[in-house]
């Protein structure tokens, strides 16, 4: 992605376009490239903002869903954002839900795709073969319906993370935090319009998770994307953007 990474105090972020803020929260292995097609499309209608979540920079005690939520909360306060359209993939969706529960007055809509918060199959709590490139490649390919979406660049990035001892520890700590921080009893309190965009072939947060989210979130709609895994905005960006565009158009000022 060719977008400029801006810095304001301790916060690094991408900001493109003008209009109502569309804040994107990435997941555990979320590179900026995950959102490239989404930014290209929505920067024409919205101010698209991607805060770079400090997955590896928080102290171990703050390396948690709550720790990331506090970071997002401080970022949004500093940027003085209101009427936010909040979108999260995987762990980013989980962080977005916790943020919304505590700051509902600032959130206009929520979009979840492959979100954790109820149930997820992670990459495992340990990396017994973390030095094995082929193992990491196969694990990365499981994110997608089409394994070819797991480019060498993406696999190299994941391989680099899990082979750094401290980064691997932080990833495991965050994955455990997500599993412990179950939102089943709290989702009924989120009254904001919520759009669930789910890959029918997601093996990390399977279809039953999307159905449970829809049941528990009182103002939600569920859209399926066939032949698609855990990251629809990467794997089938045109279809994803079409669904999201229709949802956001219904909730425009």
pLDDT of the residue at 132: 85
Q: How far is 64 from 134, CA to CA, in rounded Å?
A: 29
Residue 93 near residue 25, CB atoms below 8 Å: yes
Q: How far is 243 from 191, CA to CA, in rounded Å?
A: 21
Average pLDDT over residues 148-169: 90
> H-type helices in the chain, by residue range?
36-42, 65-79, 91-102, 133-141, 152-162, 165-180, 207-216, 232-235, 237-250
- Closest listed residue to residue 98, CA positions, set 178, 174, 215: 178
Average pLDDT over residues 201-221: 96
pLDDT of the residue at 124: 47
Instruction: List C-alpha distances in Å: 204 to 33, 90, 142, 146.
Output: 20, 9, 8, 14
Residue 115 near residue 214, CB atoms below 8 Å: no
- Of 199 and 157, which is predicted with more confidence? 199
Residue 213: CB atoms within 10 Å: 24
Average pLDDT over residues 156-181: 89
168 pLDDT higher than 90: no
Q: How confident is the model at residue 1 (pLDDT cuts 50, 70, 90)?
A: low
DSSP structural state of residue 111: E
pLDDT of the residue at 119: 85
| Token pair for 63 | 């390396």
pLDDT digits (tens, 9 = 90+) for 80-109: 999 999 999 999 999 999 999 999 999 999
pLDDT of the residue at 130: 61
Residue 203 near residue 142, CB atoms below 8 Å: yes
Q: Is 60 exposed, middle or buried (0-12, 13-18, 19+ CB in 10 A)?
A: exposed
123 pLDDT higher than 60: no
| Token pair for 210 | 């999307």
Q: How confident is the model at residue 32 (pLDDT cuts 50, 70, 90)?
A: confident
pTM, two decimal places: 0.95
Phi, psi (degrees; rounded to nearest 5) at 206: -60, 165
Percent helix, strand, coil in the chain, to 5, is: 45, 15, 40
Weakest mean pLDDT among 129-138, 155-164, 177-186 = 129-138
Average pLDDT over residues 158-167: 89
- Of 30 and 140, which is predicted with more confidence? 140
Weakest mean pLDDT among 85-94, 164-173, 199-208 = 164-173
Q: Left if phi > 0, otherwise alpha if psi is -120 to 50, otherwise beta: which for 17?
A: left
pLDDT of the residue at 29: 80
Domain 6-120+182-250, what fold?
Rossmann fold (3.40.50)
Which residues lie across from 13 on neighbouring strands? 6, 51
pLDDT of the residue at 252: 83
- Of 28 and 209, which is predicted with more confidence? 209
Q: Is 163 exposed, middle or buried (0-12, 13-18, 19+ CB in 10 A)?
A: middle
């Amino acid at each position: 992605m060719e977008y400029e990474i801006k810095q304001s105090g301790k916060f690094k972020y991408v900001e493109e376009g003008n209009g109502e803020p569309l804040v994107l929260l990435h997941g555990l292995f979320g590179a900026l490239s995950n959102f490239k097609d989404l930014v290209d499309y929505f920067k024409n209608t919205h101010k698209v903002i991607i805060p770079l979540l400090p997955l590896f920079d928080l102290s171990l005690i703050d390396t948690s869903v709550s720790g990331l939520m506090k970071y997002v909360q401080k970022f949004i306060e500093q940027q003085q954002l209101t009427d936010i359209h909040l979108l999260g993939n995987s762990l980013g969706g989980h962080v977005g839900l916790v943020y919304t529960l505590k700051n509902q007055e600032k959130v206009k809509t929520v979009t979840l795709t492959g979100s954790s918060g109820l149930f997820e199959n992670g990459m495992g709590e340990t990396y017994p073969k973390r030095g094995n490139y082929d193992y990491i490649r196969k694990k990365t390919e499981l994110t997608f319906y089409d394994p070819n979406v797991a480019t060498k660049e993406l696999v190299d990035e994941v391989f680099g993370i899990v082979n750094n001892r401290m980064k691997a520890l932080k990833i495991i700590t965050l994955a455990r935090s997500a599993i412990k921080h179950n939102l089943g009893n709290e989702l009924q309190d989120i009254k904001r319009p919520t759009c669930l965009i789910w890959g029918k072939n997601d093996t990390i947060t399977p279809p039953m998770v999307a159905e449970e989210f829809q049941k528990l979130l009182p103002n939600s709609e569920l859209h399926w994307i066939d032949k698609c895994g855990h990251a629809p905005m990467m794997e089938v960006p045109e279809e994803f953007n079409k669904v999201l565009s229709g949802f956001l158009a219904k909730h425009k000022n």
